[in-house]
Structure 1
Amino acid sequence: MRRVLVLGGTAEARELAELLAGDGRFGVTTSLAGRTPEPRLPAGQVRTGGFGGAEGLAGWLREQRVDVVVDATHPFAEAISRNAALAARTAGVPLLALRRPGWSPGEGDRWHGAESLAAAAALLPGLGHRPFLTVGRGDLAAFAGVPLPCLARSIAPPLPPLPAHCQVLLDRGPFTLEGERDLLREHRIDVLVTKDSGGPATAPKLAAAREAALPVLIVRRPAPPPGLPTVTTASAALHWLRAR
């Protein structure tokens, strides 16, 4: 049996864990950071909490005799992905990156790109007066200096500091187009701020913004560690693992 460590926290990671758990050739353990309350648990074994950086992860891979690592973390989990690449190289364990595709603008979209959260915060006042921030609970601090009344959506209570005039909406996707339309209208949103997370769970907000002709400020993804084999779906990851 091949031992697989899935660095998870995404829908793709859960899907892959379920596929691996149903295949007798693999034993799967999914690692969760433990930052999200009541996470959706995947099939197979689950490990919660950090490893102690790249060195700690490399030691864990050796101790558990892991045969392969799949980095299926969020596209913006830059530090985790960097540590995974270093740890896998140190421990001599193959590493596969599972990354869902990013979003692409369509006809009628009014998208504005930003290379970082700080750049997005600087651009925001020129795009609207009532922003809807959907950047995650840990990244709202980048907008603390924005002098606008904001609506922020987060799975769990966000980490301070926050914008001075910020209303927090606690909710978890997947979201619907009808629900996103109602939210934009009810809160008089005139600009949407998001990260290019990709995937269908939170994409309806983009369609609702397009219908309302709202500008969308999108933070571009960080570059992944170079040289890694990469797939975009859980089924493709399973195929890669079987081929090895």
Structure 2
Amino acid sequence: MIFFLAGTSDARELAVTLQQDGYSVIASVVTENAVNELKQVGVPAFAGRMDTEAMQAFIGEKEAAAVVDASHPFAEEASKNAMAAASQAGIPYVRFERKEQDFQESSLITYVSTYEEAADRAAKTKGTVMLTTGSKTLAIFTERLLPIEDIRLVCRMLPRKDNMEKCEQLGLPQKNIVAIQGPFTKKFDQALYEQYDVACMVTKASGQRGSVDQKIEAAKELGIETIVIERPSIDYSNRCSSFEEVRDMLRKLKIKRGHGDGF
């Protein structure tokens, strides 16, 4: 059985691909919505954040033969926990991560390494700052930007109850919340930027499947400054950027196919 960490739409497709190859897969995700999406395509899944010890216990209970980590490129803690758990359990760890995109150099695009750097850079802007980095690090931006009179902070995020509650707790006005789920087209992004009169957009280098290219191109065409947060620097083992690389790696590692005991 493969213990599979899923955090993106392409991760879901990879899990299905591995099942079609004959591997037994059980996926760990963060939300119940993600569980339902995986179950709809026939992949057993459960929700909840797990630390290293919890992962190791699960690996032992299910007698997992390998860990395939297809969590979000910015789910740094989950990846580190998965690597440690696999190492402690003595089983292979395989990382799948969508390729980063290279954008043409532009005076409108600024790359930073941390959320704090992004917030400090955005604080130099006058007008509307649109945040498209989710709710996990929202406090970093609200603490730095909400007190500035010349800045209106607008946040685009998934329409989840916990996200709305977090916005309320952090003092983000309801009128400044765009609760919506993508993917989006470039035209949609441009319409949104124009609707809110955006002067600066903040995003993460999540890859094409994260629609980063659409967001950035839409902003560039409108002359909007874009701040891109680069991916965490992690020394992954058995790193793959395509489904075929993952399949080849599992064959190389001689991971057996067959059905596990599920839940």
State the Cα deviation string for residues 145-166 of structure 1 (Å, max 9, x = none): 2022121111125324546557
Bigger RCO of structures 1 and 2 (CA < 8 A, at least 6 apart)? 2
Q: Which residue of 2 aligns with 1:209?
A: 219
Closer, same or farther: CA 163–234 of 1 in aligned 2, 3 Å: farther
Letter in 2 for 1:239: D
3-state DSSP of counterpart to 2:181: coil
Residue 64 of structure 2, aligned match among 63, 66, 72: 66
Letter in 2 for 1:172: Q
**Displacement after TM superposition at 1:5 (Å):** 1.3
Q: Which residue of 1 aligns with 2:48?
A: 49
**Displacement after TM superposition at 1:35 (Å):** 6.8
Q: How many residue pairs were aligned?
A: 239
CA distance in 1, matches of 2:239, 2:31: 25
- Identity, % of aligned pairs? 27
Residue pairs, 1:114-125, within 5 angstroms: 114-125=112-123
CA distance in 2, matches of 1:164, 1:127: 18
Residue pairs, 1:162-241, within 5 angstroms: 162=170, 164=172, 167-203=176-212, 204-224=214-234, 226-241=235-250
Closer, same or farther: CA 109–218 of 1 in aligned 2, 3 Å: same
Bigger proportion of residues as helix: 2
Q: Which residue of 2 aligns with 1:33?
A: 30
Closer, same or farther: CA 48–35 of 1 in aligned 2, 3 Å: closer
Closer, same or farther: CA 36–223 of 1 in aligned 2, 3 Å: farther
CA distance in 2, matches of 1:109, 1:14: 36
CA distance in 1, matches of 2:3, 2:34: 22
Closer, same or farther: CA 107–185 of 1 in aligned 2, 3 Å: same
Counterpart contact for 1:175–1:201, Cα < 8 Å: no
CA distance in 1, matches of 2:32, 2:119: 24
Q: Which residue of 2 aligns with 1:242?
A: 251
**Displacement after TM superposition at 1:116 (Å):** 1.0
- Range moving further from structure 2, 88-97 or 14-23: 14-23
Letter in 1 for 2:217: A
- Range moving further from structure 2, 176-185 or 105-114: 105-114
Residue 149 of structure 1, aligned match among 145, 148, 152: 152
Counterpart contact for 2:32–2:47, Cα < 8 Å: no
Gaps of 5+ in 1: none
3-state DSSP of counterpart to 1:21: helix
Q: Which residue of 2 aligns with 1:20?
A: 18
Counterpart contact for 1:131–1:149, Cα < 8 Å: yes
Gaps of 5+ in 2: 254-263
Counterpart contact for 2:128–2:154, Cα < 8 Å: yes
CA distance in 2, matches of 1:206, 1:117: 18
3-state DSSP of counterpart to 1:210: helix
**Displacement after TM superposition at 1:107 (Å):** 5.2
State the Cα deviation string for residues 167-195 of structure 1 (Å, max 9, x = none): 11111111101111111111101111011
Closer, same or farther: CA 50–114 of 1 in aligned 2, 3 Å: same
CA distance in 2, matches of 1:243, 1:62: 23
Give me the TM-score of the superposition, normalised by structure 1. 0.90
